[in-house]
Structure 1
Amino acid sequence: MAALQSLRPAVGGIVRNPILVVVAALFAVAQLPNLLVPPSMPVLSLAVSIGLFGVFVLGLPFAQGGFLGMSDEAVTGHTRLGTFLRVGKEHYVPLLLGYLVLLALNFAFGFLAFFGAMAVVLGGAYTAAESTAAGSAMSMGTGPTAGTGGVAAGASGFGADPTILAAAAIVGLGLLLVYFLVTFFVQFYAHAVVLDGTDLVAGFRRSASLVRHNVVSALGYTIVLFVGGTIFGGVAALSSSIAAVAFGGGMADGNPAAELLPALSPAVAAVGLVVYLVVVGVMGAFYGTYSVAFYRSLSGSA
């Protein structure tokens, strides 16, 4: 299976080119201001988050292109930082447009999910209010079935209609499935743009075609990334929490992680920060080389 066969060249590329780990770790460094801002300063936290969001929207496509270019060289030999700058600049515009398309897709599905949840809540509240009113009328003898039957009717009215909940669940699962299918099929558009030199539309088509003809392999690839991301992501989350508790103000500033972690010395916090950067660097480097090796395998140019 291509998903397993791509592991060896991916790991080999990282061993030959540890600079990939350093470059990937720089992405984590860029996120540190948001991580270390104390929760007791919500205005500053919001300002930092908005600023970093803008930086990532404009800068991530450049970094994505450059990193894929470096990973492509690393899989078959050695790479250098100059490749990052050259490839990132060369493919910046189509990758920026592609990133904006996927960002709009995420906003669209988030919008639908939010208003879908609001519709369920409001529908449930309306049903509860209507049932309560009917129950009150019955208990006062003004309804068609006065007396004790009214109490039961009013008590059973709280909550959304099961039919509404079932319909909302089906629609929600359907939207979630559509979202995952779309992202699953277009996940290699950037590889097509950078490695094959396609334009954006052709990159989306190229990705969808490769995945469609290699569904089982693509699923295996996704599972490998999911398992690896879960393991290393857990380590990264723990180490970042340690650093955030020490440098971000701890329990006094309302950091939830501080309630689960004891008082930390600066040395321990520094170790946690280093571990976080190293783990994120290794994760990023592995994704770069593994995704490139897998894409090359599917496209027949491995």
Structure 2
Amino acid sequence: MAVLQAFRRSPGALVRSPALLVPAFVLFLFQVPQLVLQSTSPLLASVVSLGASLLLLLAIPFFQGGMVGMADEALDGRSSLSAFLAHGKANYVQILVAYLLVVVVNFVLGAVLVAVGFGALLSGAFHLGTLALVTLGIVAAVLVIIYLLLAFFIQFYAQAIVLEGYSAVDGLKRSYSVVRSNLGATFGYMVLAFVISVVLGLSYGGLSLLTTPEAAAEFGLPVLSTGGLVGVGLVMTLVGSVVSAFLLVYSVAFYRLVTR
């Protein structure tokens, strides 16, 4: 089964090519200043977070291209940071276009969902009746389903672009075609990846309590110094980089198995 075969092959690729952890570590490292400033200067932390988000918007396509290319090489042998730079540069434009298309569609869906929520509040405030609320609820549910289906079917666009040389739009179409032809396997892959992501999220949530004095005091945890906050941030960065690199390799291994 492709899901389990890909899962078994992924750890070996990371062991053979530990350089896969470096780009992921650098990407997660962007979060450390925000964690440190969160307890000392919340306003500055918000500004830094906004700047980091804009920078990541431009950096993620390069990261995706480089990591997919490295993972592909690591599954067959070894890879290096030079491969990361080469694949990131070669596929940056196409992945950026595809990524921005996805961001725009998600933004539109999110904006409509917010409008629906606002409409529900107005309906309650002006007592427009149960029918209006039910209608808005159905619309909201449909929007969420559309978002989930979109994420499910186009999740492999970067793999299609890097591994098979598709353009941005064709990469999105290729991802849809691959998923549609492998619905059961893709669902199994998503379930396993989701479980791993939940474990990471819970670990992050527990560690993040230490970075907020109010939350730490509420749960009886120690209030950390600046050095302690940096240490926690680095631990979170290391854990996040290992898990994210593994999931990326896993996605490439799975994509290769269902397309070859």
Short-chain TM bin = over 0.9
Residue-by-residue CA offset, 1:219-258 (whole Å, 9 max, x unaligned): 001101100110122112322432x23xxxx23xxxx454
Paired residue type of 1:109 = L
Paired residue type of 1:18 = P
Q: Which of 237, 241, 245 lines up with 1:281 in the alignment? A: 241
What CA distance in whole angstroms lies between the structure 2 residues aligned with 1:112 and 1:30? 30
What CA distance in whole angstroms lies between the structure 1 residues aligned with 2:172 and 2:43? 39
Residue-by-residue CA offset, 1:134-162 (whole Å, 9 max, x unaligned): xxxxxxxxxxxxxxxxxxxxxxxxxx622
Paired residue type of 1:197 = G
Deviation at 1:260, TM superposition (A): 2.1
Is 1:10 aligned to residue 13 of structure 2? no
Q: What TM-score do you get using the length of structure 2 for normalisation?
A: 0.93
Q: Residues 20 and 71 of structure 1 are in contact (CA less than 8 Å); yes or no, is this contact kept in structure 2?
A: yes
Residue-by-residue CA offset, 1:268-299 (whole Å, 9 max, x unaligned): 65653343122101111111110000000111
Q: Which runs of 5 or more residues in structure 2 are unaligned?
A: none
What CA distance in whole angstroms lies between the structure 2 residues aligned with 1:165 and 1:39? 40
Cα distance, 1:22–1:236 mapped onto 2, change above 3 Å: farther
What CA distance in whole angstroms lies between the structure 2 residues aligned with 1:42 and 1:31? 14
Higher radius of gyration, 1 or 2: 1
Higher relative contact order (CA 8 A, sep 6+): 2
Residue 294 of structure 1 is matched in structure 2 by: 254
Paired residue type of 1:9 = R
Is 1:212 aligned to residue 180 of structure 2? yes
What CA distance in whole angstroms lies between the structure 2 residues aligned with 1:37 and 1:234? 22
What CA distance in whole angstroms lies between the structure 2 residues aligned with 1:289 and 1:118? 41
Paired residue type of 2:222 = A
What CA distance in whole angstroms lies between the structure 2 residues aligned with 1:47 and 1:268? 22
Residue 29 of structure 2 is matched in structure 1 by: 29
What CA distance in whole angstroms lies between the structure 2 residues aligned with 1:89 and 1:186? 22
Deviation at 1:264, TM superposition (A): 4.2
Count of residue pairs brought into register by the alignment? 259
Paired residue type of 1:293 = A
What CA distance in whole angstroms lies between the structure 1 residues aligned with 2:15 and 2:195? 21
Bigger Cα displacement from structure 2, 160-169 vs 280-289: 160-169
Q: Residues 29 and 234 of structure 2 are in contact (CA less than 8 Å); yes or no, is this contact kept in structure 1?
A: no
What CA distance in whole angstroms lies between the structure 1 residues aligned with 2:216 and 2:104? 32
Deviation at 1:62, TM superposition (A): 0.8
- Bigger helix fraction: 2
Q: What TM-score do you get using the length of structure 1 for normalisation?
A: 0.80
Q: Which of 168, 178, 197 lines up with 1:229 in the alignment? A: 197
Q: Which runs of 5 or more residues in structure 1 are unaligned?
A: 128-159
- What do you get for the CA RMSD once the two structures are aligned? 1.8
Q: Residues 69 and 87 of structure 1 are in contact (CA less than 8 Å); yes or no, is this contact kept in structure 2?
A: yes
SS at match of 1:38: helix
Q: Residues 236 and 275 of structure 1 are in contact (CA less than 8 Å); yes or no, is this contact kept in structure 2?
A: no
